[in-house]
Amino acid sequence: MLNELYQCTKNWQGNNEYDIKVRVKETEKSYSMQLVENNSRYSPGHIDMLFSKKDKIMIKKEKSQHSMNVWSDNDFTIYPFRAGIPFHFEKITTAEEKIALRKKWDRER
């Protein structure tokens, strides 16, 4: 089951297009995603729309308007609103980055 911090980063020609970090918790029927950080040079519109009303969303495993695939290494890909470009999230594995993000997330709660 997913219960970690994940990051989606896109770099193009040496420029950081976007860097999105989320905390994901998996239940039997859904995924809970909390936006921790969204640093975007060029805003990825579908992610902005996904988190437009609040920084926490629920994605049902069945019959959701969003397509989410969890891979064997527990990374995942999400197609917000089943449209546009997919976002591939990888688990954050460095201890320093996890600690910094958790402190930031705790301050913001």
Determine the Cα–Cα distance for residues 79 and 83; give it in Å rounded to an integer.
6
Q: Which sequence spans correspond to the domains of the chain?
A: 3-108
**CA dist list (Å): 74 to 14, 42, 92:** 27, 27, 11
pLDDT of residue 77: 93
Whether 17 and 40 have beta carbons less than 8 Å apart is answered as: yes
Whether 68 and 77 have beta carbons less than 8 Å apart is answered as: yes
- 76: how many CB neighbours lie within 10 A of its CB? 23
Q: Model's pTM, two decimal places?
A: 0.79
pLDDT of residue 13: 67
Q: pLDDT tens digits, the chain, 109 residues: what are they?
A: 678 889 998 877 666 678 899 999 999 999 999 998 888 776 667 888 888 888 899 999 999 999 899 998 889 999 999 888 889 999 988 777 767 777 776 766 6
